[in-house]
Structure 1
Amino acid sequence: MLTYETGKFVPSFKTETSGTDITIAAMGLSELALDPATDAVAIVGPSDDFSESEGQLIGAFLRAGSVVLVADDFGSGNSLLESVGAASRFSGKLVIDLSFEKKPQFPVCYDLRVDDLTRNVSLLQLNYPSSITLGAGASGLAFTSSASWLDNNGNGLQDYGEPWGPFPVIAKEQVGQGTLVLLSDPSVLINGMRELLDNARFADNLVSYISSSRTGVFFDESHRTYFDPVTVTTVFTGSVSNHWKGAILVTATLLTLWAVTDFVDRAFAWTVGAFRRMWSYISRRLGFGPKEEPTRQEVDIDALTEEVRRAHPEWREGLIRHVLKERRRHGRFLDRSRERSG
């Protein structure tokens, strides 16, 4: 994990003792000995509001020249932004985009500005993102497409009066002498999303940026509400018969894996793919499967992108790559459709 590779991340937990019991508790922001010259703070996915005193502490820390990351979508990040005196805000509304992977709630972001955070990044895979309303002194670094909109009423449709994009999803704002980094989709940083498109490169850039020239990076965990499936399941299963407890525990485990990882989706996709390969093999052996056709020659996207950029230097590289990858994906889909219909 990157937190261990850098050697700069400082635990924001403490041990509390009561007789013979030892517990781990999250340290509040007011308990951290923060030095704006050597430290940075990362606040990811906050759900509990920040107090006025916490906002003043982070605000003074930021204005003195530090770096603060706030990654939030539908949580309590705005309460901190208001307290520190930032001009930008999270919209708190879901962004739906017709430039997507699998479904419109999974936008593909290809409109990126040149910055340390976007170095070597052409495409980002988002997952139910919100957006950022830029204030004075803020600059957007990554935007959804012009075919995106804010789903204000949550019905998944583009209704009259709902604003169209593009919307910023990554931004920087100068607050005093410090830099506030804003990200409106914290899920970009989770393990299940890291290997999609260029998310890993962005995560690496983000870690490098907030830890550069600093000896400590503090992660605030005191404003996050954690779901404990073990405790919930234990309490629930205590009221049912032993006959159902095993099934409930297995179901709860699978639901937890499905909610926080892509393990179940990958396992299902692998099972379906294996069944199709087996059926195709049996069909060919029995002689009634579709005849083999010449395979499609894959396009070298890197080479073609470079060729297009030479012809049209004013076009964005991320957009070119996105169009070419979509064309390749659609071609593969048509090939599979022909195989199934053949």
Structure 2
Amino acid sequence: MTVVHEAGRYETASADGVAIIVAPQESYGPTDRAQVAQFVQRGGTLIVASEDDRTNQFLSEIGVNARIDGALMRDEQNNYRNASLPVATEVSEHRYTEAVEGVTLNYGSAINTSVVPAQRGTEWQGQHLVNSSQFAYLDRNRNERLDDDEVLEARPVVTEESVGAGTVVVVSDASVFTNAMGERDGNRRLIENIVTDHDRVLLDYSHGPSLPPLMYALLVLRSSPFIQFFLSLTAIGGVVIWVWGPPSRRWLPARIRGRKTSPKHPGRLSKEELIEYLTTEHPEWEEKRLRRVTEAIIRRREQSADND
């Protein structure tokens, strides 16, 4: 799996791989469009996930006829928690939909395959992989209710069509590929089928939203053996310190720690060693105070021994 931050990576991408573009927010320039289109033309698989109809320009420019409607899909009967999270239950047989019983959208839309450019013929040459239930409708005015001019019917939410020697799959909701919605059984299975069907996966963020900091750090970590090695050493060092305690002054040279002998626990020092220890730890103390504290420690130690 490779994260792509510039479209130039498509030039060297394997035609046996799959590229996933999630919620493209910026327009692809002529050069970038050409690189993506060439990847598909020579046999690559491209997944475009978006509920925004502004993505249609990009789809048109790479030769895809399917169009994202852009209106919010709702389903009062088949949904997850509420009607704005419809569950598309009509699933066609396909390698990507194996064991997929339904795909859950999160404020998603539908895909329009009935409007096909005249220069490409009058019929759409593709396949509906997943359709909504027959109780779904497009809430164009977003008033959260079915109006007289809104129709209940099954609509495609995942489609596939051939472009050159390659394939383009359109998903009408970018959130299908997010962590939260990816936990839904059908969504997770759909993603797994797509990924495991290819040897290489490109995650294209070159024209989409920026990665969250933690996700970016994780991807950098996975792609850098040096950082992994460094963090492993750091973790091992942390375990050693946790088990054995932090480094003490007894690890330092005698000329640095100011005494020739390693300190022992005060409870095990003789009177002379205890005075030496306190002198090193508290050089500002006067001799009378050193001896007074030393005698107090010895008395307390002896009383403790008697109590035992």
- 2:175 is matched with 187
Equivalent position SS for 1:96: strand
- 2:86 is matched with 107
> Do 2:10 and 2:39's aligned partners in 1 also have CA atoms closer than 8 Å?
no
Residue number among 149, 158, 173 corresponding to 1:161 in the alignment: 149
Q: Does 1:41 align with 2:19?
A: yes
Equivalent position SS for 1:62: helix
Q: Does 1:92 align with 2:70?
A: yes
**How far 1:115 sits from its partner (Å)?**
0.7
Q: Structure 2 length normalisation: TM-score?
A: 0.61
> Do 1:50 and 1:79's aligned partners in 2 also have CA atoms closer than 8 Å?
no
* 1:32 to 1:125, Cα distance in 2 relative to 1, 3 A: closer
Question: Which residue identity lines up with residue 75 of structure 2 in the other structure?
Answer: D
**How far 1:60 sits from its partner (Å)?**
2.2
* 1:167 to 1:31, Cα distance in 2 relative to 1, 3 A: same
Residue number among 110, 122, 125 corresponding to 1:137 in the alignment: 125
Question: Which residue identity lines up with residue 61 of structure 1 in the other structure?
Answer: F
Residue number among 2, 11, 20 corresponding to 2:3 in the alignment: 11
C-alpha separation between the residues in 2 aligned to 1:225 and 1:194? 18
C-alpha separation between the residues in 1 aligned to 2:19 and 2:80? 32
> Do 2:96 and 2:193's aligned partners in 1 also have CA atoms closer than 8 Å?
yes
* 1:142 to 1:55, Cα distance in 2 relative to 1, 3 A: same
- 2:43 is matched with 65
- 2:203 is matched with 219
* 1:197 to 1:218, Cα distance in 2 relative to 1, 3 A: closer
Question: Which residue identity lines up with residue 140 of structure 1 in the other structure?
Answer: H
> Do 2:10 and 2:35's aligned partners in 1 also have CA atoms closer than 8 Å?
no
* 1:32 to 1:196, Cα distance in 2 relative to 1, 3 A: closer
Show structure 1 runs of 5+ residues with no match: 1-8, 13-26, 231-342
Q: Structure 1 length normalisation: TM-score?
A: 0.55
**How far 1:124 sits from its partner (Å)?**
2.5
Show structure 2 runs of 5+ residues with no match: 117-123, 215-308
Q: Deviations over 1:226-285 (max 9, x none)?
A: 48799xxxxxxxxxxxxxxxxxxxxxxxxxxxxxxxxxxxxxxxxxxxxxxxxxxxxxxx
- 1:29 is matched with 7
* 1:113 to 1:55, Cα distance in 2 relative to 1, 3 A: same
Question: Which residue identity lines up with residue 88 of structure 2 in the other structure?
Answer: C
> Do 1:52 and 1:83's aligned partners in 2 also have CA atoms closer than 8 Å?
no
C-alpha separation between the residues in 2 aligned to 1:75 and 1:133? 10
Question: Which residue identity lines up with residue 81 of structure 2 in the other structure?
Answer: K
* 1:54 to 1:208, Cα distance in 2 relative to 1, 3 A: same
Q: Does 1:151 align with 2:151?
A: no
* 1:28 to 1:146, Cα distance in 2 relative to 1, 3 A: same
Question: Which residue identity lines up with residue 93 of structure 1 in the other structure?
Answer: A
C-alpha separation between the residues in 1 aligned to 2:29 and 2:184? 36
C-alpha separation between the residues in 2 aligned to 1:178 and 1:79? 19
Question: Which has the higher relative contact order, 1 or 2, with Cα contacts under 8 A spaced 6 or more apart?
Answer: 2
Question: Which residue identity lines up with residue 185 of structure 1 in the other structure?
Answer: D
* 1:34 to 1:228, Cα distance in 2 relative to 1, 3 A: closer
* 1:76 to 1:50, Cα distance in 2 relative to 1, 3 A: farther
C-alpha separation between the residues in 1 aligned to 2:151 and 2:161? 23
Identity %: 27
- 2:299 is matched with none
Residue number among 145, 161, 173 corresponding to 2:161 in the alignment: 173
> Do 1:59 and 1:84's aligned partners in 2 also have CA atoms closer than 8 Å?
yes
C-alpha separation between the residues in 2 aligned to 1:10 and 1:228? 16
> Do 1:36 and 1:64's aligned partners in 2 also have CA atoms closer than 8 Å?
no
**How far 1:32 sits from its partner (Å)?**
4.3
* 1:204 to 1:82, Cα distance in 2 relative to 1, 3 A: same
**How far 1:123 sits from its partner (Å)?**
2.6
Equivalent position SS for 1:30: helix
Equivalent position SS for 1:48: coil
* 1:75 to 1:48, Cα distance in 2 relative to 1, 3 A: farther
C-alpha separation between the residues in 2 aligned to 1:100 and 1:40? 30
C-alpha separation between the residues in 2 aligned to 1:192 and 1:228? 14
**How far 1:31 sits from its partner (Å)?**
5.1
**How far 1:163 sits from its partner (Å)?**
4.0
